[in-house]
Each structure stands twice: as structure tokens, then as C-alpha cells.
Amino acid sequence: MNKYKQTGKCIWCGRMEPEISFDSAPHVLPKALGGTELGMDVCEECNHYFGTAPKNRHGIPSIDHAFKEVFGAFRMFGKSLTSNSYKSYSSAYFEYRHKYGIIRIKQRLNTIAITRQFKRGLYEAFLQKYHLVTGNGNNPIFDAVRNFARYDKEDLRVYYAFNNVILAPGEDETNHPVLHIGKNAEDEISHYGFFHFLLLGHNFFLEVSPVAANVYRQKYLQEKVATCLLPAKGDESIYEIKNIEQIDFFMQRFRSKKQFVVL
Ligand SMILES: [Zn+2]
């Protein structure tokens, strides 16, 4: 019995053995981010797909890589930086100069394409964790998730709760982040079509079933405004992510002067 197999049907491509195999460990959150939890029923080919940059498309990272970059920056810049702590920050795209307190872009970024990869990474982690907990990842309700995350078709809406207070997770969770699935997650998904994605103190809301989400979007987001926004400066809000730059993953909201330098 393969240890990464539960139902024996890949949650992404729907194929079964012997056509496919379940030999490589599918991380729910990228290993490069410190994720240690392993998923089930993700075939070799699909697992490889998420960790591989698209061919012949310069400047576009793999899905796992885009996910790791954004949450890696959240993790690093969410705490107060000392002259030593910044040394542990490494990124393919950005460099942080602690002496000058600036972040530089190493290369020209296609932020729209990276945004799409990042969003797809949220859905990758969601379905793998959901399947791990419920065993129901093959449910046709998630066909839109599969189309977007695995086959790069269509688009799904993702919202972000912008707060000026971040309830920072403890050291252990910072080093080994875990995606949690709340007790009422299944109900929220079947009723509203949304999944509340909470990681490293940041709240995202993923449209996972567009049919339900199209009906209940406003009601769902209003409820989240009441429960997930922490009133502090008055500019807190929940908005749809169209570009990763909107989510301020370098946490500049906590610094007095603008430190993002584009060369
Ligand atoms: Zn597969």
C-alpha cells in the first residue's frame, strides 16, 4: 500500500493506477516554506506539475514557487527586522538591503502572471488539505478548482482581508506553517461556495464553487468583514486580489516611509 494513496484516484486529473502512480510526496504547503504535511491521492505527474515553471515563458515561476515567495515575505517582513534576521530572507525576485531599509526587485517582474500562479497555489493547497481531512477531494463541486489550478483555465476570485493588525502565529507555526480547515468549512463551502484560507495570520477567501459564490458572494463577504477585519486605522477592508502588489506582502503598512525601490 502506497502511503500517499487513500482513494487511489488522483484529486487533480481523476486518473487511477496503473495509468498513474502515487510515488512522490505531495506537500500540502511547499516544502520550501517549511510545510511538512503530506497530502494524499496526488499523482506523480500532477505533483510535478505544481512544482515546475512553465516552459518557454520567461519570468513566470512555478505555482509552488509563487506561493512560497508571497508567504515567505509575509513571514519575514511581518516581524521586526534586526540586522541578523534579514539574512535569512532569500528570494528569487527581491533582495532586502537592511542597511538602507529597502527592497529591490532583482529582475523585471510580470506581476500579473505571478499573481495568477500565486492564486493557483492557494487552490492547490486548499484541495489537497480538504481531501486529506474529508477524503472528498474528487467531488465534482471542485471541477472549477481543478480547471484553474491544474489546467490553467478560466479564473476564480480570491479576496484578501487587509488589516493593520496581524495576529502573528507562534514561532513553531512560522517555521512550519499549517493550513487549517475549520469545523464549519464544509458547510461554508456547500452553502456559500467559499473557503476561508487562513495562513500565517493572513485571511484569504477563495471562491471554490462559482455557482454558489455568484449567489452568496456579498452576504458571505459582509459576514467576513464583521469577523475578520480588526478596526485600527480605518482603512481596513476586504478586496479582490487582481495583482499581488495589492496585498502588500512586504508589510509596508507597518513602516513609516516607503521602502520599496524599483530599479
Ligand atoms: Zn493526477
Banded pLDDT at 134 (limits 50, 70, 90): very high
Evaluate if residue 137 carries a pLDDT over 70.
Answer: yes
In the reported structure, the alpha carbon of residue 14 is separated from the centroid of ligand 1 by a whole-number distance in angstroms of 6
Q: How many CA atoms lie within 13 A of 127 on its CB side?
A: 32
pLDDT at 240 over 50: yes
Residue 61 has pLDDT above 80, yes or no: yes
Arithmetic mean of pLDDT, 103-123 = 86
Q: What is the 5 CA–ligand 1 centroid distance (Å)? A: 12
Mean of per-residue pLDDT scores for the chain: 89
Residue 2 Cα to ligand 1 midpoint, Å, equals 15
143 Cα to the center of ligand 1, angstroms: 13
β-pairing verdict for 194-199 and 202-207: antiparallel
Domain ranges of the chain: 31-261
Strands laid side by side in the 202-207 sheet:
194-199, 202-207, 158-162, 237-240
Report CA(52)–ligand 1 centroid distance (Å).
14
User: What region, left, alpha or beta, does residue 62 occupy, with left being phi > 0 and alpha being psi -120 to 50 degrees?
Assistant: beta
CA of 201 to the centre of ligand 1 (A): 31
- Taking only the tens place, the pLDDT of each residue in 167-197 is 878 888 888 999 999 888 999 999 999 999 9
Inter-CA distances, 20 with 45, 52, 95, 159, Å: 8, 18, 40, 35
64 CA from centroid of ligand 1 (Å): 16
Mean pLDDT of 156-161: 98
Distance from the alpha carbon of residue 209 to the mean position of ligand 1, in angstroms? 21
| Edge-to-edge order in the sheet of strand 260-261 | 94-97, 102-105, 260-261
Q: Which range is least confidently modeled, 102-116, 161-175, 206-220?
A: 102-116
Task: Tell me the per-residue pLDDT of 195-205, one tens digit each, with 9 for 90 and over.
Answer: 999 999 999 99
In degrees rounded to 5, what are phi and psi of residue 55? -70, 145
> Which range has the worst mean pLDDT, 6-10, 135-139, 181-185?
181-185
**The model's pTM:** 0.92
* Lowest mean pLDDT, pick from 59-68, 85-94, 185-194, 253-262: 253-262
Indicate if the pLDDT at residue 249 is higher than 90.
no
